[in-house]
Amino acid sequence: MTTNTPEVTNWISVGALADSFAPDSNILARADDLVGRRFTLSTADGGTARYEFATADTLNWTASGAGGAESGSETYVATSPREGIYFIDFVKAGSRPPCSVSIVADLNLGVATVVTGLLPTAEDANASILRRAQAQQELTTVAADFVSATIDRAYDAAAPHHAPTTDLVGMRLQHRYNPHEVYEHIYLNEKRYAWHCLSGIEQGLADVDRCHYYKIASNLYLFVWREKIVPTLGAIMLDLDRMKTTGKIFGYADDALTTVSNFQVGAYSKLLNKTDHIL
């Protein structure tokens, strides 16, 4: 007699994922050449945000706009995938809902892209995916806002801003985050990608999630994804010349959705294949 055994899954919290990614991680070394520098970002809506890099891991910021002014001091991580281009990331201390800010700053061209990520409340995160689909809402409860800016001058719409792209669509890449954590990504279309854990704590798991692609420079991209099962926001810069990534993963550290994890990631990448669909 054949019995059907329930499938055993290993969905985990972002905190557990951070612990598994940490040993011998392939992260990019932190950039310390921003220390002592400051710059101001100006956006199309008239808003400004000033950042002062006090130390290698502490920045001070002041922002003003239609909603008023605010300021803070945060712990940040900065990496530089190419000369003059920085990925700067931090979580706003005490923010509710939890809020992360990722800045791709191109000091060569004087432009930046700012990604603001918001995690859901526990109530929203536990809402039925079916109900969200029936209401024609996004299945993920993680929000992301993308804003273009110019650096140290008034906003200039004619500047060479980073733009959405479909360059990665059709590619299948393998990313090795450390000796045992290996994933593949299949970039399906301009809004969806598939991830599959080949080796590591999530081995065998796979899903298709919402994503966003921006072209930063030749063969250099910002890739952001928002997961729907375990509320997660990932933001990485992918350099296809060096086949190297740098970025972060942001989510709740525990299953109760009470504490936050925002950890640095980096991978060595390999192109497995590319599909060009013929319709």
Per-residue pLDDT of the chain (279 residues), as tens digits, is: 455 555 657 899 999 999 999 999 999 999 999 999 999 999 999 999 999 999 999 999 999 988 789 999 999 999 999 999 999 999 999 999 999 999 999 999 999 999 999 999 999 999 999 999 999 999 999 999 999 999 999 999 999 999 999 999 999 999 999 999 999 999 999 999 999 999 999 999 999 999 999 999 999 999 999 999 999 999 999 999 999 999 999 999 999 999 999 999 999 999 999 999 998
Q: Which residue has the tokens 């110019």?
A: 150
Residue 1 lies in a domain: no
What pLDDT shows up at residue 66? 80
What pLDDT shows up at residue 9? 72
Report how far residue 113's alpha carbon sits from residue 44's, in angstroms, rounded to the nearest whole number.
12
Residue 2 lies in a domain: no
**Which amino acid is present at 29?**
A
Residue 4 lies in a domain: no
Residue 3 lies in a domain: no
| Rounded (5°) CA angle 97-251-226 | 95
What pLDDT shows up at residue 67? 79
Please state the domain count of the chain.
1
Residue 5 lies in a domain: no
Residue 9 lies in a domain: no
Helices marked H in the chain: 14-21, 122-125, 129-134
Name the β-bridge partners of 74: 59
Report how far residue 192's alpha carbon sits from residue 169's, in angstroms, rounded to the nearest whole number.
9
Report how far residue 233's alpha carbon sits from residue 40's, in angstroms, rounded to the nearest whole number.
25
Domain hosting 251: range is 14-273
pTM value > 0.85: yes
How far is residue 143 from each of residues 16, 192, 211, 271, measured CA to CA in Å? 22, 15, 11, 29
Residue 86 lies in a domain: yes
**Which amino acid is present at 50?**
R
What pLDDT shows up at residue 232? 98
Report how far residue 74's alpha carbon sits from residue 103's, in angstroms, rounded to the nearest whole number.
14
Report how far residue 50's alpha carbon sits from residue 52's, in angstroms, rounded to the nearest whole number.
7
The number of helices, as runs of H, and strands, as runs of E, in the chain is 3, 17
Residue 22 lies in a domain: yes
Report how far residue 162's alpha carbon sits from residue 102's, in angstroms, rounded to the nearest whole number.
14
